[in-house]
Amino acid sequence: MNLGKLVLDLIYPPRCPFCGRVLEVWEEEGLCHRCQKTLPWQLEVGKQVDFCARCLSPLWYRGSVRRGMRRFKFQGGQIHARLFGMLMAQCLHDQWGEEVDGITWVPVSRRRLGQRGFDQCQLLAREVGKYLGVEVVPTLEKVRNTKQQSRIPTPSARQANVMGAYAVLDGIDLTGKRMVLVDDVVTSGATLGECAACLRMAGAEEVIGLTLARAR
Ligand SMILES: [Zn+2]
């Protein structure tokens, strides 16, 4: 541990991203002991999503997972991308295991990026890439603003909401590549499916969805 980190740890002690408790020195993984035991781990082998081989998620989206993600997105909790990315990388490793060629993410709109100052899925993708030693590449842009998916009640309306909302960036060729597509939460899978369709049209051989959490 270097001195700079030690001083920072004293001023801003590292906290568990899920329950907010200050971590003990031995809880080095960045997740507190209690949450490790009690978090709603998602043990089913993924969810079926259009144009994806599968969508994997280490956690269910409820309780402290939901609160942790809100902190991450809205309350300056970007530092937690590191632990979240590690949990996602571990999940991909355990539940998929096969090699992948690249990692990309579901982008936010330019307007949202301006408001928030960062793209949460890009942060997650970057951390997943670090853990897996796989290149992280921007491939998509959001070309149309959409309503928040969580406010739309039915799957078919969700699908309509995101239809045509994403496009592949100029000059991207994914021919023959197996790509991991990162998002924060999967609910109906409409957004991931729409983005995966774009990647497949750009030549991707296979797309594996990967999110931190899965909502029922
Ligand atoms: Zn905790």
Alpha-helical segments (H) within the chain: 3-11, 33-38, 63-74, 81-95, 110-116, 120-132, 155-162, 190-201
Does 3 fall in a domain?
no
How close is the Cα of 34 to the center of ligand 1, in Å?
6
Domain hosting residue 23, numbered range: 8-38
Do 52 and 139 reside in the same domain of the chain? Answer: yes
Does 75 fall in a domain?
yes
Do 17 and 51 reside in the same domain of the chain? Answer: no
pLDDT in tens, 144-181: 888 888 888 888 898 899 999 999 999 999 999 999 99
How close is the Cα of 123 to the center of ligand 1, in Å?
21
Which residues, 6 or more positions from 60, have their beta carbon under 8 angstroms from its beta carbon? 40, 41, 42, 213, 214, 215, 216
Q: How many structural domains are present in the chain?
A: 2
Query: Which protein residues have their CB within 5 A of the ion that is ligand 1?
Result: 16, 18-19, 32, 35
pLDDT in tens, 63-93: 999 999 998 888 877 889 999 999 999 999 9
How close is the Cα of 80 to the center of ligand 1, in Å?
12
Does 1 fall in a domain?
no
Residue 141 near residue 171 (C-beta atoms within 8 A): no
